[in-house]
Structure 1
Amino acid sequence: MSVLLIGGDRLGKIPENLKKIGYTTIKHISGRKYNNNSLSFVNKYDTVIVFTDYINHNLMFNLKKSVKKEEIKIIYCRRSWCHIKELLDCNNCQGCEQSKMLLL
């Protein structure tokens, strides 16, 4: 499985924890630089995790547009492993608070 992490300057142990649960390809872009606004490569990833408190608005707009074309699991969250893990484990059952935070 592959994951694209967008936002956040420092990821701490998040990449290490993602490897432990089976992600083999992990790429991170900071989301602050202007040259990161093109996301033509987003379709190469199974999952996209967006750290909402560390991303520029143009990149977010381009990301939403790119992901609508593809069937990619996208998670919007803060930079917290506990929160990320909850959302990754969510089955999007539409009956709980976590499913409301997970946008597919």
Structure 2
Amino acid sequence: MGSLLVVGADHLGVITNKLLSVGFDEILHISGRKVQMVKKEIPGNISFILVLTDYVNHNLSTVIKQKAKSQSIPVFYAKRSWSSIYQVIKNAV
């Protein structure tokens, strides 16, 4: 399915394993806690971006959306619950 960049939340816990089990090859995670995160670039091997809306600040979300758009990378938004994440992935991918 490709590589997934998850933005938001301090720890993903079992979500990483569940994402791998639905077919993603690689999961990268950015917590978004530090202000400097807005300066980070999106790695070139990323196929999709998942923003966890209940654990990310608005500014970082906006910057990620702009960078993803310029690189033609689809961005999905979900809450940090597996049911919400799975619903978004199932409908979008």
TM over 0.5: yes
TM-score by length of 1: 0.78
Q: Deviations over 1:28-87 (max 9, x none)?
A: 111111121124225531111101111122211211211221222211110011111111
CA shift, 1:12, in A, is: 2.0
Q: Distance in 2 between matches of 1:19 and 1:38?
A: 27
* Matches for 1:1-104 after TM superposition, within 5 Å: 1-91=2-92
Percentage of identical aligned residues: 35
Equivalent residue letter for 1:31? G
Change (3 A) 1:61 1:2: same
CA RMSD of aligned residues (A): 1.7
Q: Distance in 2 between matches of 1:34 and 1:75?
A: 22
**Structure 1 unaligned regions, length at least 5:** 93-104
Q: Structure 1 runs of 4+ off > 6 angstroms?
A: none
CA distance in 1, matches of 2:92, 2:3: 18
Could you say which structure has the greater relative contact order, defined with CA pairs below 8 angstroms and 6 or more residues apart?
Answer: 2
Length-normalised TM-score, structure 2:
0.86
Could you list the runs of 5+ residues in structure 2 that have no partner in the other structure? Answer: none
| Larger radius of gyration between Structure 1 and Structure 2 | 1
- Residues 34-43 or 10-19, more deviating: 34-43
Number of residue pairs the alignment of both structures matches: 92
